[in-house]
Amino acid sequence: MKKIIIMLALSVFAATAAFAAEGKVVSVADGAAVVEMGADAGLKKGAGVKLNGKAGKVTAVEGTKVTIKAGNAAELKAGDKVKVDKAASMQGC
């Protein structure tokens, strides 16, 4: 039983720590920030993310630029460095 609990805890940790990247804000408009990410970001339109720790959603992906609609986007300005994390999805639990 102890082994199962440890494995479950590790899998939840791995799911939440699976993706974290930094990017640079290109522009901000209408509650969404356009962030220049690396080519290996692998984000898709509709994905749930956290922008500097606040919940958001990817609304567009064009090359290495990702548009993220988030509540804290209006606080950002072009040139700011931001942290983007994939939001943990606990579907089926």
Whether the predicted pLDDT of 22 surpasses 50: yes
Domains of the chain are 20-86 (2.40.30.20)
pLDDT per residue as tens digits for the range 23-46: 999 999 999 999 998 877 788 899
Question: What's the mean per-residue pLDDT of the chain?
Answer: 83
pTM confidence score: 0.73
Residue pair 48/86 in contact (Cβ under 8 Å)? The answer is yes
Compute the half-sphere exposure of residue 81: CA atoms within 13 Å on the CB side of its CA.
3
User: What whole-number percentage of the chain has pLDDT above 90?
Assistant: 51
